Amino acid sequence: MTHAMLKGSNVPLDATAVRAVLRWTTGQGVPDVDASALLLGTDGRVRSDEDFVFYNQPRHPSGKVWRLGKKRVAEGLTDTVQTDLAGLEPAVGRILLVASADDVAFERVQSLRILLYDATVADAEPLAYFDITPETGEETALICGELYRRGGGWKFRALGEGYTNGLQGLATDFGISVDESEAAASSPEASEASEASEALTQAQAQVPDVSVPLPPEQPTSAVPSQPVYDYPLAPPAQPPAQPPAQPAYGYPQPTGRPAYGYPHPQQPPVTTGAAPAYGYPQPTGALPDTGFEMPPQGPQFIGR
C-alpha cells in the first residue's frame, strides 16, 4: 500500500533498505534538480564533511548511502539516493533527503515529488510519496523529507523546508565547512557582478563592426614597406662619409705639393742650390767666356 503524505506527516518503514527517488517534469526553462543526503548524528549535525553525499561526493565512506544518478522516465527525470538502513552505524540518527536546483528558484520546477521504495524488492510499488510545494517559490534548495530512528526501527517524515541560499547554505546550517572562496563566488554580490559581466559581453557582441578598413593599396603590416598616404618614406640611413685622406680646402689634391687648393703639374726634382729665387730661374754656374767686352766709354765720361 502506497501512502500519499502531507507536509509534516510520517510513516513507519519496515524495509531494511530504501530508495528515495526525486522526480520532476522537464520542459523549457526548467532547471536540473540534484538529489543529495546529509547523515546527522544525535546532536542534529554532521560528524564531518564526509557525511555529505552529493554530486561531488556520491558515496559515503561507510558504503551505506550513495547516489544512483539521474534517469529518464515517462513522467520526466529522476535522481535517486539509496540507503542501507540496517547497515548504518548507531551514531547516525537522521538522514536528510535534499533537492537542489543549482541556485535556480524552485518555482520553475514542475511536479516535484519524492517517492520511497523498498530497495530489496524489484519493481515494487512505492511505499510512500510526497508532492513538494515550495512555500515562496524563491527556494533554491529543499529538504524534501528525512529518515529518522524511532525505537528499534526507522520512519520517514515529509518536510518540504526551503533555503534561498542553495545547497551550500543548507549544508552549512548542519555543520558542513564551506571554502570561503567558494562562498564569495556564490554570494549575491558575486552573482550580480557575473550577470553584469555577461550582459556587457552580450551587448558588445551585438555591436556591429564599424571599423574602417585600410585602402586596398595600403599594407596592413606594422612596418610599411611602401609609401603611405602618398608620403615618401624617409631614405634609409647612410653611414657617415669618411673624411678625405688629405684636407685641401675641399678639393682633392695630387700626391705632390698642395698649392692653395689648385692642382699643379708634378715638378721635376730640384737639386740643391738650383732653387728658383723670387719665382725666376737662376743660372746653375758661372757664365761662359764668349770674348764679349764692354764698349769704350764715350767722351762724355772722360775727365769727369
Burial call 255-278: b when 16+ CB within 10 Å, e when fewer: eeeeeeeeeeeeeeeeeeeeeeee
CA atoms of 286 and 268, how far apart (whole Å): 23
Residues 4-51 pLDDT 10s: 999 999 999 999 999 999 999 998 889 999 999 999 999 999 999 999
- Contact yes or no for 32/101 (Cβ under 8 A): yes
Residue reference for cell 519524492:
114
pLDDT of amino acid 294: 61
Q: Residue 118 class from Cβ within 10 Å (0-12 exposed, 13-18 middle, 19+ buried)?
A: middle
Cell of 156: 520517514
Residues 99-154 pLDDT 10s: 999 889 999 999 999 999 999 999 889 999 999 999 999 999 999 999 999 988 99
Mean of pLDDT values over 212-234 = 48
Q: Is pTM, for the whole model, over 0.85?
A: no
Which DSSP string corresponds to 52-91?
A: EEBTTB-B-TTSSEEEEEEEEETTEEEEEEEEETTTS-TT
Alpha-helix runs per DSSP H in the chain? 166-173, 180-185, 188-206
CA atoms of 133 and 161, how far apart (whole Å): 9
Report which residue type is found at 250: G
Mean of pLDDT values over 275-301 = 55
Say what percent of the chain tops pLDDT 90.
Answer: 51
Q: Residue 65 class from Cβ within 10 Å (0-12 exposed, 13-18 middle, 19+ buried)?
A: buried
- Contact yes or no for 127/15 (Cβ under 8 A): yes
- Contact yes or no for 253/246 (Cβ under 8 A): yes
Residues 149-196 pLDDT 10s: 998 899 999 999 999 999 999 999 999 987 644 444 444 444 454 455
Cell of 45: 549535525
Provide the mean pLDDT of the chain: 77
Better-scored residue on pLDDT, 274 or 132:
132
Cβ neighbours of 73 (radius 10 Å)? 9
End-to-end CA distance of the chain: 188
